Chain A
Amino acid sequence: DIQMTQSPSSLSASIGDRVTITCRASQSIKTYLSWYQKKPGKAPELLIYGASNLQSGVPTRFSGSGSGTDFTLTITSLQPEDFATYYCLQSTSIPRSFGQGTKLEIK
């Protein structure tokens, strides 16, 4: 099974900051990596798919990069609505596996 390791597990930042979250796979997953935003009481929402493709309707301050085993999610110019928990997901093989999450909090 493929293990997904996210870092950091939590992050404090201010409005307007740029933040980067990383996700590392235990073996190559090509670009079968997607990122999700989850807010309390709501379902996760797709932000990025194929490692770097922005889902329709998602603000352009979100971007993703990487291939193989190392991936990043970057949020430029943080907005109040961006404070949430972020998860990566590998979809190269079964079982599908998520990172453990990164909780982004307001400093």
Chain B
Amino acid sequence: QQQVKQSPQSLIVQKGGISIINCAYENTAFDYFPWYQQFPGKGPALLIAIRPDVSEKKEGRFTISFNKSAKQFSLHIMDSQPGDSATYFCAALPSGGATNKLIFGTGTLLAVQP
């Protein structure tokens, strides 16, 4: 069964600190790895994404690190701010499919304390 495992389930970080969320997959080839941010009462919004031919991608304070051999990828939020408090989902797109069906992780609830 296609699956993406995400950890930790919840995370508390002080303002200005680094938030790190990890995801891992197994048994299936994926070729696109987006991260989504979801605020309460809202739908998920695309934050940043990476393809497996790249080991790192940075956009502002957000960085994705990708380890293809270990089948792991992670999101780093530098200089975390209270406004970053939200639920973060990693996701993966199975390769070879005709649809953009995403497999989502179970989410990480991030709380950034002022």
Do A and B associate with each other?
Answer: no
